Amino acid sequence: MGLFMRNLPGRERRATKRLAFFMIGGMLFSIVMFVFLMVCQLPCASDQSPYDYERWKHSRNLLAPSKNARYTLVILIISSPGNIHERNAIRETWLTWLDDSVIMFRFVVGTSALNKVQSSQLVQEDSAHKDMLLLNSIIDSYEELTNKILQAFIWLDKHVNYQYVLKVDDDSFVVVPGILSELRYKPKERLYWGFFDGRANVKTSGKWKESKWNLCDKYLPYARGGGYVLSFDLVNFIAWNSDLLQLYLSEDVSVGTWLAPLKVHRHHDQNFDTEYMSRGCLNSYLIMHKQSVSSFRELHNNIETAGVLCKTEVVLRGSYEYNWSYPPSQCCNRSPIEQRSPDKSVSKT
């Protein structure tokens, strides 16, 4: 090649050099483009990359208030695949009081491991009502309940613009207008509102056994799971730290534990009848847990016809004020059953 180049006239030699230069440059450019195109064919995970996450995390306050909430309240109703009678009863009773311009609701159901018939029934139900949150990655069982709540929070944080979320079970009756009315006087941020317990013993056997709990000999203060309210920023905190959170068996215990170190407005409210068994029926109640389908219809009819929740007020179990100035194990002295619980809430900021 060198001898050939030397035998060429000067002008042709220079042209040949330029041609060789362009050929080599073209080959290098082709190689670079090939590598670039191969990389672009790889699965794209830019939305989940450490760089993007870190940039997002440092560019916003995870507990910043919402500026333009689309909904004042979102209601997440935790249900099971086969509980269609409970869902229909709720649709026909206390959900009829919703103003869908300010409130959104979803029945949350885990659908993993369902057979085709069960899955088809749920899809048809959602097509008819458009009110289901079907979590395809969740097996609907008590063992998966905490993860079910966590995934619902992640979905909510990602897809909905809102101010507060009310989590309830599908055996809870909710006086929706009362909840909305009370929210007008509640903090807009860092609100954790429910019926709190701070002296519950850790379950060591049976269905509720907590095999992963090693923090202390009592559960940390938490709002009972029949119904509680969180402001959007606390849900945002939970959602964005989900990979770091320990999932305990009881979802309400888990939420209380996740929020324990934060500067949270904890509002204990005796009008949340949300323990594992009902305390009775008082007209001041906002949520009543452990209600049957027939109870839903009776309570709804009482309000529609008589303007009160209870035909006859009855106390089956004493209530208590939460004393936030005492250690959690001494927080809650339940009143005797013959005494009516006072209509008040106690807050701790």
pLDDT digits (tens, 9 = 90+) for 68-109: 568 999 999 999 999 999 999 999 999 999 998 999 999 999
Instruction: Give yes or no for a contact between 331 and 221, defined as CB atoms under 8 angstroms apart.
Output: yes
At 54, the pLDDT band (50, 70, 90 cuts) reads very low
Closest CA to 246 of 204, 210, 200, 208: 210
Q: Is pLDDT at 61 greater than 70 in this prediction?
A: no
What is the residue whose two structure tokens read 């009848």?
273
Provide the pLDDT for residue 17: 57
Provide the pLDDT for residue 209: 85
CA-based max dimension of the chain: 118
Give the pLDDT mean for 223-247: 97
Give the pLDDT mean for 134-148: 95
Q: Is pLDDT at 38 greater than 80 in this prediction?
A: no
Token digits of residue 72: 């004042």
How many Å apart are CA 85 and CA 182, to the nearest integer? 30
How many Å apart are CA 30 and CA 138, to the nearest integer? 47
Give the pLDDT mean for 168-183: 98
pLDDT in tens, 311-326: 999 999 999 999 999 9
Instruction: Give yes or no for a contact between 337 and 308, defined as CB atoms under 8 angstroms apart.
Output: no
At 210, the pLDDT band (50, 70, 90 cuts) reads confident
To the nearest 10 degrees (0 to 180), the angle between helices 116-129 and 84-92 is: 10
Token digits of residue 103: 């409130």
What is the residue whose two structure tokens read 């048809």?
124
- Angle (nearest 5°) at CA 231 between 230 and 233: 120
Domains and CATH numbers, the chain: 71-348 (3.90.550.50)
DSSP conformation class of 102: T
Q: What does pTM read for this prediction? A: 0.79
Provide the pLDDT for residue 336: 86
Helix (H) or strand (E) holding 123: helix 116-129
